[in-house]
Structure 1
Amino acid sequence: MYETDQETNLFLVKRAKKGSTEAFAELYEQIYIDLYRFALYTMGHKQDAEDAVSETVIAAYENLPQLRNEKAFHAWIFKILVNICNKKLRQKVERPIEERPEESEHPDYAQAYDVKNAFQELSEEEREIVGLTVFGGYTSLELGQMLGINSNTVRSKRSRALDKLSKKLKF
């Protein structure tokens, strides 16, 4: 089953590179939720996350013909998203701190809010490593290749970042 999915994705990427908007739309549908989750936790605001994902999709569509390794589409589009999120965070003007949302409608909302805030307190590199692991499903080896660092370094940085999150959340 996994090989079939990989083969299908590879076929879609090849078609999309040749200009098929339908193939690109299928690829986008498969990965949108993961992109959005990563962007939301990285950016911290729904609108900023939506903007980052939109910019990512546009950039990916425009630059798809330059993608050298079709098998690396998911890693490639996540790297675009990471770069866009980081750029937006650097450009972001100070915003007033939002008040804690009401917990009455969604009892798990407060916990999600705490997790999102703790995630925001990680360094840019830590957010990238944890986010791509959690939302992108990438291994240490894949992340090392994407980020240009040793896979053992990825593992140790991820471990430290998760320890920080754990301490902040007191799990």
Structure 2
Amino acid sequence: MKCSVKKFSEMYEAAYRDLYRYALCLMKDPQEAEDAVSEAVVTAYENIHKLKKEEAFRSWIFTILTNKCKKKWKKVSKESPEREEEFPEQSTLPDYDLAIDVRRAFFVLSEEEQILVGLSVFGGYCSQEIGEMMKLNPNTVRSKRSRALRKMECVLDGYREHMMR
């Protein structure tokens, strides 16, 4: 798609707030969220020519953002053993452990599932709105979201069973 700087800015401005909220819910750190959004925007701008339809911009940039968050999360996960040694009391807090497990379960999902769950749970969008953004029937959105949440639940149950041993 050919896109002027002005048009890209308009599309980005329309999505920025939701992109930031989504990243903040995933990263749980305002600076990390802002960095992820910034990186996603740069990548989107550099690759805008690969986008076929303007209507797909929103789901396309959310996919890019999801990938940026995944990379950042993997980096943070690799660093976390050092953090646990520095702050051992934090590694035993249930909320902290649950947040890590939920993120891990979220990243088990496919990109489409992550976007559906992210827009629904983190972004607060209804099935109709998500369907319009992703060019899907609202019933399809509901069924895919339901399957994705069940998949996350299975992963979380697996973590719980592992922790109980």
TM-score, normalised to structure 2, is: 0.61
Q: Which runs of 5+ in 2 are unaligned?
A: 157-165
Match of 1:54 in 2: 38
1:89-118: per-residue Cα shift (whole Å, max 9, x none)? 112242547999xxxxxxxxxxxxx7x985
Matched residue SS, 2:32: helix
Aligned residue type for 2:44: A
Which structure carries more helix by proportion?
2
Q: CA deviation at 1:31?
A: 0.6
Partners of 2:10 and 2:124 in 1: CA distance:
17
- Kept in 2, the 8 Å contact 1:34–1:136? The answer is no
Aligned pair in 2 of structure 1 residues 117, 37: CA closer, same or farther (>3 Å)? farther
Please tell me whether residue 71 in structure 1 is matched to residue 55 in structure 2: yes
Matched letter for residue 5 of structure 2: T
Map of 1:121 onto structure 2: 101
Is 1:144–1:151's contact at 8 Å kept on the other side of the alignment?
no
Q: Which residue of 2 aligns with 1:155?
A: 146
TM-score by length of 1: 0.59
User: CA 1:21/1:143 → structure 2, altered by over 3 Å: closer, same or farther?
Assistant: closer
Query: Could you give the per-residue CA deviations for residues 112-148 of structure 1, whole angstroms, max 9, x where no partner exists?
Result: xx7x985543112469242132327324x94989xxx
- Give the match's secondary structure for 1:68: coil
Q: Do the aligned partners of residues 56 and 117 (structure 1) sit closer, same or farther apart at CA in structure 2, a change above 3 Å counting?
A: farther
Question: In the alignment, residue 30 of structure 1 is paired with which amino acid?
Answer: A
Q: Alignment RMSD, CA only? A: 3.7
Residue by residue, what CA displacement relative to the aligned partner does 1:26-65 show, whole Å, maximum 9, x if unpaired? 1111111100011111112111111100000001111111
Look up the equivalent residue of 2:146 and give its one-letter code.
Answer: R
Task: Tell me, yes or no, if the aligned pair for 1:144 and 1:154 is still in contact at 8 Å.
Answer: no
User: Shift of residue 159 of structure 1?
Assistant: 5.5
Q: Aligned residue pairs: how many?
A: 130
Separation in structure 1 between the aligned mates of residue 136 and residue 71 of structure 2, nearest angstrom: 21
Q: Letter of the 2:28 partner, please give it.
A: G
- The match for 1:130 is 117
Distance 1:94 1:80 in 2: 23
Structure 1 pair 136–75 and aligned structure 2 pair: CA distance change class (3 A): farther
Q: 1:120 to 1:69 in 2, by over 3 A?
A: farther
